[in-house]
């Protein structure tokens, strides 16, 4: 067996010949280079940045106010469409509960998550109007889907039972009605004013579909002296 020369690591020569510093790894990845920016594009970016720095302070403040106002308008519009609305009373069909020119807070969200109930004061599309018209009525729900409504001798009966209506100030002065069974997903509405020919309601256009009911009137908000929950 042939032995080669031995390297004594304790000798000065061995220390002197040893490589100094970290070893280089073979095949190490090359450094990534940033993508070059075209001269024309670089000039445009430089001019835009310079223009931004040279703009007076009021421009940035105005931009901030415009952005804030736009966001606020979008929020209010969304709430107006899906959450609430304000409506003005016209006519006398809901007296003595509501009077001409009173302002109502209309809760639209209530019927997005639930269904109308007996006694609710609601805003609905006028069934007598065409598709292009947007007239609305304010009435009270007195009959639910499946109920049988009858008006006899000035009194309202629901499913054969006399309905005591504390919100009216007189008996029903119009002609008798029914009995009429309400279809599925329909509601029978009447005005609180029970004097003769004072209210155009389900006695003339029958029960209204659920889709025509816009929202529930929860509050009288104007005038302040009439502020009240309905």
Tell me, yes or no, if 90 is annotated catalytic.
no
Active site includes 139?
Answer: yes
Q: Which residues contact 144 (CB under 8 A, 6 or more apart)?
A: 116, 117, 118, 182, 187, 188
How far is it, in rounded angstroms, from Cα 159 to Cα 152?
Answer: 13
Q: Which of 93, 125, 199, 202 is catalytic?
A: 93
From 55, 134, 139, 202, the catalytic residue: 139
Closest CA to 138 of 194, 165, 99, 181: 99
Residue 70 DSSP symbol: H
Dig out the tokens for 220 from the structure: 């009288």
| DSSP reduced 3-state for 130 | coil
Question: Which amino acids are annotated catalytic?
Answer: 93, 139
């Amino acid at each position: 067996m042939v032995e080669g020369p031995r390297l004594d690591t304790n000798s000065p020569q061995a220390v002197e010949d040893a490589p100094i510093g970290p070893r280089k790894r073979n095949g190490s990845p090359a450094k990534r280079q940033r993508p070059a920016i075209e001269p024309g594009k670089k000039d445009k970016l430089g001019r835009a940045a310079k223009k931004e720095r040279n703009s007076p302070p009021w421009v940035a403040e105005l931009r901030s106010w415009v952005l804030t106002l736009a966001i606020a308008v979008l929020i209010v519009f969304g709430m107006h469409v899906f959450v609430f609305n304000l409506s003005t009373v016209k006519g006398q069909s809901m007296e003595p509960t509501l009077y001409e020119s009173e302002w109502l807070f209309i809760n639209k969200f209530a019927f997005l998550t639930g269904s109308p109930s007996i006694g609710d004061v609601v805003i609905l599309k006028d069934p007598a109007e065409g598709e292009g018209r947007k007239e609305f009525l304010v009435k009270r729900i007195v009959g639910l889907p499946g109920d049988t409504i009858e008006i006899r001798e000035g009194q309202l009966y629901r499913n054969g039972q006399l309905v005591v209506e504390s919100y009216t100030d007189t008996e029903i002065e119009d002609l008798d009605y029914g009995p009429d069974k309400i279809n599925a997903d329909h509601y029978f509405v009447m005005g609180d004013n029970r004097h003769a020919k004072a209210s155009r309601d389900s006695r003339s256009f029958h029960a209204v579909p659920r889709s025509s009911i816009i929202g529930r009137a929860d509050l009288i908000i104007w005038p302040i002296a009439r502020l009240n929950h309905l």
